[in-house]
Amino acid sequence: MATTQYAQQRRRISILPYLLILPTFVFVALFTLYPTFNVLTTSQQYFHPNRPDRVRESDLGLPGVEVAERSIRGPHEVGLAYFRAMLNRSTSEGQVFYQVIGNTAFYTIVTVPATMALAFIFALLVNRSLRWVGFARVALFYPTMLPMVSAATIWLFFFTPDYGLWNSALRTFGYTGSENWIINRDLGLWALIIVSIWKNAGYFMIFYLAGLQSLPQDVYEAADLDGANWFAKMFRITLPLLRRTTLFVSVIAIITSFQNIDHAFVLTNELVTGEADLLLYAIYKQRFEIGNYGFANALTVVMIAILLIFTLTNFYLSERTDDER
């Protein structure tokens, strides 16, 4: 009898963890899983709500779609036509795709290492017991508290030709031009990179600072007894012990680089030729300005796939390294 009551009690208690995670599961299902599966479906539909509902013979301008009498507005099921079009450089979708993928890859490759390195240097500088260290931490973290639109507006003044602070500072190094960075096809993307690094370095500094302050001090004391210099302690103790922190920061930094869009609205919205368009900004333009819903959803699928593959690969390599150790 006692055994039966104990088994029933265990069954009742085992339900509690599932009830606790139920709100989170519902939230994730509604706002993450459902939109993800929905965009996979709608990426195979041709839909241009901005166009008139006029019927004519057309292949919709997509490879692999047969010519037929159909509405030029849609919606129509086109299968993987948008993905085939993206891989074909001769199509308008292919030209946009390769341009924004190249811009986003360059933007990520530059901003992520630069921001992480600057954040680590900031963390080293403020990880001290000095009188004004609290003020220094706030000053370095302050750009993070600004909305990206506000940060871009500040830098919009910095990038102003002639009297802008950016060009004025460059003149001290011998630069004599009055370049308007944000409408220059060669410099527009660099303007976005500079703003992103300035905005996010203080945020990632917090993670590195927390990691530095949690490192075991007895290891450094032993290194001092062995006569290890600063470089030896940095590259043989600090950086290896911060590997988990670096992994986390790198994942967040890469995801953030794919999510940045606000400063593009403020800075490079007049650069209509697309030389500075990032992937998320291209998705916005295709969805809300051009009205090409199917292509916008196909680009969204590509972005989700890139982030998923990178995140899983990164964590797999991290776990594999831990097993080898």
pLDDT of residue 325: 57
**Nearest-angstrom CA–CA distance, 236 and 228:** 10
User: Both tokens of residue 138?
Assistant: 């706030």
**Average model confidence (pLDDT) across the chain:** 85
Residue 101 has pLDDT above 90, yes or no: yes
Type of residue numbered 214: S
Q: How far separated are the first and last CA of the chain, in Å rounded?
A: 50
Q: Is the pLDDT score of 6 beyond 60?
A: no
* CB of 58 closer than 8 Å to CB of 79: no
CA atoms of 260 and 254, how far apart (whole Å):
10
Q: Is 90 exceeded by the pLDDT of residue 106?
A: yes
Q: What is the pLDDT of residue 12?
A: 57
Contacts of 237 (CB under 8 A, 6+ apart): 215, 219, 220, 223, 228
| Cβ 283 vs Cβ 35: under 8 Å | no
Render 53-118 in DSSP notation, one character per residue: --EEEE-TT-TTPPPEEEESS--EE-TTHHHHHHT-TTSHHHHHHHHHHHHHHHHHHHHHHHHHHH
Largest CA distance in the chain: 92
The answer to whether the beta carbons of residues 36 and 304 sit under 8 Å apart is yes
Q: Token pair for residue 179?
A: 């370049």
pTM assigned to the model:
0.85
For residue 112, pLDDT beyond 90: yes
Tally of residues, the chain? 325
Residue 303: the pLDDT is: 92
Share of the chain above pLDDT 90, in %: 23
Number of Cβ within 10 Å of residue 9's Cβ equals: 10
Chain-centre distance for alpha carbon 232: 33
Quick one: pLDDT at residue 7? Answer: 57
Q: Tell me the pLDDT band of 3, cut-offs 50, 70 and 90.
A: low
Contacts of 65 (CB under 8 A, 6+ apart): 46, 59, 78, 81
- Among 1-5, 42-46, 61-65, 189-193, the minimum mean pLDDT is found in 1-5
Non-local (6+) Cβ contacts of 53 within 8 A are 71, 72, 73
What is the Rg, in whole angstroms, of the alpha carbon atoms belonging to the chain? 26
Burial of 136 (0-12, 13-18, 19+ CB in 10 A): middle
Q: Which residue has the higher pLDDT, 129 or 264?
A: 264
More confident residue, 3 or 297: 297
pLDDT tens figures, 229-275: 888 888 888 888 898 888 889 889 998 888 888 888 888 877 767 78
Residue that the structure tokens 């085992």 belong to: 14
Alpha helix locations (H) across the chain?
2-14, 16-28, 34-42, 81-86, 92-126, 133-145, 148-158, 165-171, 188-213, 217-225, 230-233, 239-241, 243-259, 262-267, 279-284, 293-324
85-90: average pLDDT:
89
Report phi then psi at 191, rounded to 5.
-65, -40
* Confidence class for position 55, pLDDT limits 50, 70, 90: confident
Mean pLDDT, residues 97-102 taken together:
93
pLDDT score recorded for residue 99? 92
Question: Residue 233 in 3-state DSSP?
Answer: helix
Mean pLDDT of 69-79: 86
Q: Give tens-digit pLDDT for 174-209.
A: 776 667 778 778 888 898 999 999 999 999 999 999
Per-residue pLDDT tens digits for 146-182: 888 888 888 888 888 777 777 777 777 777 666 777 8
The percentage of residues in the chain with a pLDDT greater than 70, rounded to a whole number, is 93
Predicted pLDDT at 298 = 93
Residue 220 has pLDDT above 90, yes or no: no
